[in-house]
Amino acid sequence: MKRIDTAAESSTRLQRIREWTALPGGFGIITGISMFLTITILGVIYPLISPYTSDEFVGDSFEPPSWAHPFGLDQLGRDVMTRTFAAVPADIGVAFLGVSIPLAIGTLIGIILGISKNKFFVSLVSSIIDGINAFPLLIIAIAMISFLGPGLFNVIIILTIMNWARYARIARTRAVVVLQQNYIEAAQLMGYSKRRIIFKHVTPNVSSESLAYALSDFILVIIIVSGLSFLGLAARPPAAEWGAMIADGRTYLGDAWWITIFPGVALCWSAISLSFIVEGLSRRDRGN
């Protein structure tokens, strides 16, 4: 009896998943999520099971891909496959921090701006936000590195200092709209406390938009982190990082394409997986 029940239940769950996938954009979202999970899981697991470490010289320089070294060896004889997957924390991890910290700070500041009644404070902070947003993110990151010095940790600091402003602007605009909605007025009339209104009503409605932006910002930040490393301004050798590895391989492009191409594919793979999710979600949003 019980067995039948669970079978029926699991079939409906499967059915539900299938129906969800059949909705607009479902295929893109599923593909994107599986691609993203694949690269992150490989990034965690492969360095553990790999016979080599990322900065160990295991053979001759420029050894082409083979069964022992599917991605080949680099100019110093390090295993490119191990290095490619060992770079996941440096790229995806750093980008994740570089998005989530500004997301939290910026959304908070944006909501405060949205509800604040102090005109001077609001216009002062808003113009600072406009000023920060005026700089192209990559350019100001490059410039700040010259004052802070290169390194992945500094990249996180730079992203925190500079990227919150974009989230603050989104959250502020959204908070102003949300505060004018009827349900906020209703909540006020019902005598709910200010804190309850802000946390239960305003924040969830504001953060949905910020989260949507964060997802596409994630792509941009991955590209910026790897781009900075490519220029030699973020990850420093011998650290494994895609941008830096691509820059390393650049000199030997003609003779040893694998040094450049495999980290590049991993980088594109991550960014593209996220963009499939973004694309799928926006298709679902539009409903076609």
Partner 1 sequence: MTSNLFLRKVLGRLVRAVTISFWVMVISFLLIRLSPGDPAATRLGAGAEQEAVEALRKQLKLDVSPLEQFTSYTAGLFRGDLGVSLVNDVDVLETIRNTLPLTLTYIFLSVFFAFLISIPIATLIGWSNSASIVYSFRSITSVIIATPNFFIAMVGILLFSVQRDWAPVFGYVSEFPENLKYLWLPVSINTLILVAIISRVLQSSIVDTKSEEFVETGIIRGVGRTRFFFYYILKPSMAPTVVLLSYMMGTMLGATVILETIFSLPGIGRELVGAVLASDYPMVQGILLFFGVITVFLSFIGDLCAYALDRRVKI
Q: Which residues are at the interface with partner 1 (CB under 8 A)?
A: 28, 127-128, 130-132, 134-140, 142-149, 219-220, 223, 226-227, 230-233, 243, 246, 249-250, 253-254, 257, 260-261, 264, 267-268, 271-272, 274-276, 278-279
Beta partners for residue 79, in sequence order: 73
Least distance to partner 1, CB of residue 188, Å = 29
What is the C-alpha end-to-end distance of the chain, expressed in Å?
42
CB nearer to partner 1: pick between 94 and 198: 94
In one-letter notation, the amino acid at residue 212 is A
Q: Is 230 helix (H, G, I), strand (E, B) or coil?
A: helix
* Residue 32 CA: distances (Å) to CA of 4, 25, 140, 153, 269: 34, 11, 30, 28, 10
Instruction: Report d(CA 146, CA 134) in Å as an integer.
Output: 19
Least distance to partner 1, CB of residue 191, Å = 37
Least distance to partner 1, CB of residue 261, Å = 8
Instruction: Report d(CA 91, CA 240) in Å as an integer.
Output: 9
Q: Decide: 135 and 162 in contact? Cβ < 8 Å.
A: yes
CB nearer to partner 1: pick between 135 and 192: 135
Q: Is 81 left (phi over 0), alpha (psi -120 to 50) or beta?
A: alpha
Give the side-chain half-sphere CA count within 13 A for 139: 5
CB nearer to partner 1: pick between 203 and 210: 210
CB nearer to partner 1: pick between 29 and 202: 29
Least distance to partner 1, CB of residue 281, Å = 12
Q: Decide: 245 and 193 in contact? Cβ < 8 Å.
A: no
Least distance to partner 1, CB of residue 202, Å = 24
Least distance to partner 1, CB of residue 31, Å = 10
CB nearer to partner 1: pick between 31 and 188: 31
Which value, to the nearest 10 degrees, does the dihedral of the CA atoms of residues 246, 248, 250, 256 take? -100
DSSP E strand boundaries for 90-181: none
CB nearer to partner 1: pick between 130 and 185: 130
CB nearer to partner 1: pick between 59 and 151: 151
Q: Which residues contact 172 (CB under 8 A, 6 or more apart)?
A: 109, 110, 111, 113, 114, 126, 129
CB nearer to partner 1: pick between 158 and 179: 158
Least distance to partner 1, CB of residue 80, Å = 15
Least distance to partner 1, CB of residue 8, Å = 35
